[in-house]
Chain A
């Protein structure tokens, strides 16, 4: 997993919000790849599981200046004082120093949901009921990824099944280094707008590292200091202002106008 500029890799993403059209293909690809069960008939936006959710954010301006941005939100892979790691009482959340990926170990999870409370990005999901696939749909389960049981938390892990497959392929060739082309998360692969760029942030020549350093690139809640490895890009001023603002509220819920 060595990169040319450092001992360990730091996998990250840059998402171009000006390209994302909110089609939701990334959400579907993610669910299929990671054996996320279809939501129960009674599931809501807040009880269903979707490792990646795409939020539609409006500029709040009147027509013709009205605008909308689609923001894919998922585990931001924080690397500094990762909020979910320190709180877990039984070490069910770990950061892999070789990849920088924050992983969830469902077999250890107690289901206390303290990590979900700690995550500022609301990127963690709980199995409120037993996972179930409609008859026939179970035949398309990904054999490289274990489905999770009831009562545990789960989240995006940059498709660890694909990482393991890439490692196995490299090992078969007698190499310890994976080919970047072999490790592409499902959301990146499925995005037909090419809005998501993935790679090693430690490799300064990689496209993802160049974009992360570039102008008009930002991170959500950067002032919390958790150093997320997922970046966003937009040239629209209101989108950048929105990302840097903190609490926003609608007139309806704001008693003071």
Chain B
């Protein structure tokens, strides 16, 4: 039915099978859209956030998907700036993942704010001292960069290539890719960092507040490095997952190995920096604000186990596996370590968002709890469904993995 749209030389499932695959995701997406409508039309009382737990699942989602989507900028940086040609096998996939993650985050942010029609105010009279201003500016610009990077992938479609203007446009876009990769890296550095700075500057939340290095708190740099570690692992995992689902080899094993190595090195740097930062915070920053750090962990919900899990179990352990050539060569170790890396970064974003708000600051206040409403969960799942839909459509109708055709011949 849609065979004229499928790239030549590639094998894809029948249209009926494809429809069966996307329909449940489309339904999930539809439920999420309805939940978003309720929040936008009626108000945010549909959520379980409140005056004390003012950030919830959605901010956690934003922080997480933007960290995971960092594979787009970091792969582009390694390929176009550092000329690591082996990554051309996954660059398209990384760009699509980045676009999904960033556009999903922006849409959820628009539902999350109380007055989304005022979003342009940030551009009109911005507070240049606010980390959120930096996030908004860089996120918007980078989303535009990702959309431009996504265009040639779509224009490679068999039918679209028949239009000469599209072909010429695609050719011209390829010439500016290194420039876009540079701009993307620059913008990503700032918005990944600003997302970390978002919490690091909170003087009134000693659990999150960190010392400044230059004009930014240490969390700024930790978020940049951790995103650079999580991004390649996420590209690796999704590619592996697509291989499993489609039962095809899409990239050579060396590409997986290289992504794992890059992720491992960045994770090792991150774990070192995080450990130093934690020690400075425990011994200096937090006590100076009147809060002995051990008090934060003297609770049943968030004990020191969470810190250990974040830094050691889901930090140091996968980092050591990924930097070891012998272990990396074994697929089970490689993919498990990549999964652990992503989970570790997700846990870090959870700690920054949820644990920060759960801990009271006033001496007579108690520890707070929060559980998201169905509308929040449905919106969260809608982003996942949206991602699967966009990725599936792109995979079916464009050449997402340039090595796929050659690997099929062998």
Contacts and interface: CB of A to CB of B under 8 A. Distances in A.
A and B held together in a complex: yes
B44 to A, nearest CB: 5
Nearest to A40: B45
B49 to A, nearest CB: 8
A118 B51 contact: no
A125 B303 CA distance: 30
B289 A122 contact: no
A173 interface: no
Q: Which among B51, B55, B198, B301 has the highest number of chain A CB atoms within 10 Å?
A: B51
A247 B50 contact: no
Interface in A11-28: none
Contacts of B50: 44, 46-47, 128
Interface in B73-129: 112-115, 118-119, 121-122, 124-127, 129
Interface string B24-68: 000000000000000000111100011111110000000000000
Contacts of A223: 288-290
A118 B45 contact: no
B289 to A, nearest CB: 6
Interface stretch (B131-139, B213-221, B253-261, B313-321): B131-139
Contact of A46 (B43, B53, B132, B292): B53
Nearest to B291: A246
A114 B132 contact: yes
B45 A224 contact: no
Nearest to B130: A89
Chain B interface bracket (under 10, 10 to 19, 20 to 34, 35 or more): 35 or more
Contacts of A86: 127, 129-130, 201
Contacts of B136: 89
A46 B205 contact: no
B2 interface: no
Interface string A146-187: 000111110000000000000000000000000000000000
Interface residues of A, number: 63
Interface stretch (A96-104, A105-113, A195-203): A105-113
Contacts of B127: 86, 88-91
Q: Per DSSP, are chain B's interface residues mostly helix, strand or loop, or mixed?
A: loop
A18 to B, nearest CB: 16
A125 B50 CA distance: 9
A52 B292 CA distance: 29
A79 B396 CA distance: 58
A127 B301 CA distance: 30
Nearest to A87: B130
Contacts of B126: 89-91
B169 interface: no
A127 B362 CA distance: 23
A150 B52 contact: no
B54 A117 contact: yes
Nearest to A49: B51
Nearest to A53: B51
A99 to B, nearest CB: 21
A192 interface: no
Nearest to B133: A89
Q: Which among A49, A121, A128, A220 has the highest number of chain B CB atoms within 10 Å?
A: A128
Nearest to A248: B363
Given A108-B121, A110-B121, A254 B115 contact: no
Given A87-B130, A108-B118, A152-B114, 14 more contacts: A83-B203, A88-B132, A89-B130, A89-B132, A90-B122, A110-B114, A110-B118, A114-B130, A120-B362, A127-B43, A128-B45, A153-B114, A246-B291, A255-B300
User: Which 6 pairs show the lowest CB-CB distances between chains A and B?
Assistant: A111-B114, A151-B114, A120-B204, A223-B290, A255-B300, A46-B50
27 contacts: A42-B45, A49-B51, A83-B202, A86-B127, A86-B130, A87-B201, A88-B127, A89-B126, A89-B136, A90-B118, A90-B125, A91-B125, A112-B113, A117-B357, A120-B204, A121-B204, A121-B361, A125-B51, A129-B42, A153-B114, A221-B290, A223-B290, A225-B203, A247-B296, A249-B366, A254-B300, A255-B299
